[in-house]
Amino acid sequence: MKIAMIGTGYVGLVSGVCFSDFGHDVVCVDKDPAKIDRLNAGEIPIFEPGLQDLMAKNVAAGRLTFSLDLASAVDGADAVFIAVGTPTRRGDGHADLRYVMAAAEEIGRAMTGHTVVVTKSPAPVGTNRKVADAVRAANPKADFDIASNPEFLREGAAIDDFMRPDRGVVGVENDRAKKVLSDIYRPLFLRDFPIVFTGLESAEMIKYAANAFLATKITFINEIAALCERVGADIKSVAKGIGLDGRIGNKFLHAGPGYGGSCFPKDTKALARIGQEHAVPMQIVETVIKVNDQVKARMLDKIVDLLDGTVNGKTVGILGVTFKPNTDDMRDAPSLTIVPALVGQGAKVRVMDPEGRREGEALLPHVRWVENAYHAAQGADVLVILTEWNEFRALDLNKLARKMATPRLADLRNIYNREDALAAGFEVYVGVGR
């Protein structure tokens, strides 16, 4: 199959590279010349484990190219995937569809022969029909079908998720589009990964419902964690005890500083807006959004308490600023709320993140970036673990405590035990829900 992938962000680049690895001919298009230059030089503009090697392999095999020229990539393609951003629109919480619609128009103008236009970006119910209208308006004679193929990959495990998904979801209107998508995903069919074919609206809804459910699960355990702290229960035991129930499952039950990232915050907000528009308020999701903000505020309170209530002039070491480990993505990370609040109250903040600095420098001004966890602890009044990168899981706690002015640990990912921290010389250990 000949595929054009529009947008080379986390979703588009991973999808394009993996489709080429399936054996298809893929052109990845972006309008950002700097990204295309880097890709053509063999570099990836994001941090995603394994992606660079897989990309190099498929470029060398002649199946994968990168281009600024959308029209040539779309000309003669069997399928064109739209994988551009759908961020929250300023002011009203809706998904901002301007990038999707602009891409649809351009695709319409460039299309030759039968083409399936596939939306991969999450977009509110009804978007695919708007995409079809835009394509048709740009090219009334276009011979095309539309499909919705939401992506469920997780940053940090994106290739594995794409190649071995729990399921794929494809929304189509007819057999012609179904056949093209089936051919594209043939390697997954052959390995018996389930692909759910539905109508367009159901596929669009599945993506939002899935993300809202996961955000709800995280928020639920965060709220239970807050209660655990008051009643003397330990959230780790509670999560284990409920997670072993097959109906509940043990994933997404880690208490922490609240969800962030490029998907959950904006997709929950967009779903809430869709509900309001259709007079079916998504009351659970609306509450989840509110509670998640409270969780972040509660984490800040924990840190301030460890500073005896006075932040001004104190030194805070921060371990991890990306919204989760194994990615450089900073979008809506809890650090973006917590760190500026500390800086604003007069703290001197020392930050270490294995991959977050490139993105984070512009987003977190007035902090000092340091090379490793021990430098972050140097002279600090409190050390905060915000992201559970593997390299923070086996730190020499004795050494950390010795470097600090007052050895106090806010372990907001619950990766250490109080007993171990105290035995290593910390005077106070605070986790979440313990």
Dihedral of CA atoms 151, 156, 159, 162 in degrees, nearest 10, equals: -20
Question: Looking at 12, 16, 317, 334, which residue binds ligand NAD (CB under 6 A)?
Answer: 12
Complex with ligand NAD: residue 223 or 332, whichever CB lies closer? 332
Question: Looking at 21, 48, 145, 155, which residue binds ligand NAD (CB under 6 A)?
Answer: 155
Complex with ligand NAD: residue 74 or 288, whichever CB lies closer? 74
18 belongs to the catalytic site: no
Binding flag, residue 8, ligand NAD (CB under 6 A): yes
Distance CA 353, CA 389 (A): 8
Catalytic residue among 18, 28, 228, 263: 263
Question: Looking at 108, 122, 171, 256, which residue binds ligand NAD (CB under 6 A)?
Answer: 122
Phi/psi at 178 (5° precision): -60, -40
Q: Which stretch binds ligand NAD (CB under 6 A): 17-25, 101-109, 175-183, 307-315?
A: 101-109
Give the 3-state secondary structure of 328-387: CCCCCCCHHHHHHHHHHCCCEEEEECCCCHHHHHHHCCCCEECCCHHHHHCCCCEEEECC
Complex with ligand NAD: residue 165 or 340, whichever CB lies closer? 165
Interaction mask 27-66, ligand NAD, x per CB under 6 A = --xxxx--x-------------------------------
Binding flag, residue 69, ligand NAD (CB under 6 A): no
Give the β-pairing of 64-67 and 144-148.
unpaired
Distance CA 225, CA 236 (A): 9
Question: Looking at 4, 9, 146, 335, which residue binds ligand NAD (CB under 6 A)?
Answer: 9
227: three-class secondary structure by DSSP: helix
Binding flag, residue 6, ligand NAD (CB under 6 A): yes
72: three-class secondary structure by DSSP: helix
Complex with ligand NAD: residue 329 or 381, whichever CB lies closer? 329
Question: Looking at 1, 56, 71, 102, which residue binds ligand NAD (CB under 6 A)?
Answer: 102
Amino acid found at 256: G
CB of 125 to ligand NAD, least distance (A): 15
CB of 327 to ligand NAD, least distance (A): 8
Binding flag, residue 252, ligand NAD (CB under 6 A): no
With 0-12 CB in 10 A as exposed, 13-18 as middle and 19+ as buried, what is 39? buried
Number of residues that bind ligand NAD (CB under 6 A): 29
Binding flag, residue 83, ligand NAD (CB under 6 A): yes
Binding flag, residue 86, ligand NAD (CB under 6 A): yes
Question: Looking at 5, 10, 355, 397, which residue binds ligand NAD (CB under 6 A)?
Answer: 10
CB of 407 to ligand NAD, least distance (A): 36
Distance CA 85, CA 104 (A): 13
CB of 203 to ligand NAD, least distance (A): 13
CB of 245 to ligand NAD, least distance (A): 28
Binding flag, residue 121, ligand NAD (CB under 6 A): yes
Please, how many CA atoms are within 13 Å of residue 363, restricted to the half-sphere of its CB?
Answer: 20
- What 8-state DSSP symbol labels residue 318? E
- Comparing every residue's Cβ against ligand NAD, the nearest one is 9
Q: Which stretch binds ligand NAD (CB under 6 A): 7-15, 52-60, 169-177, 271-279?
A: 7-15
Complex with ligand NAD: residue 155 or 229, whichever CB lies closer? 155
Distance CA 403, CA 397 (A): 10
State how far the alpha carbon of 146 is from the alpha carbons of 77, 179, 186, in Å. Answer: 14, 12, 19
State how far the alpha carbon of 231 is from the alpha carbons of 216, 235, 264, 430, in Å. Answer: 23, 11, 30, 15
DSSP-assigned states of every residue in 259-311: --SSSHHHHHHHHHHHHHHTT---HHHHHHHHHHHHHHHHHHHHHHHHTTT--
215: three-class secondary structure by DSSP: helix
**Cβ neighbours around 301 below 10 Å, total:** 9
Residues recognised as catalytic: 263
Q: Which residues bind ligand NAD (CB under 6 A)?
A: 6-12, 29-32, 35, 70, 83-86, 99, 102-103, 106, 121-122, 151, 153-155, 262-263
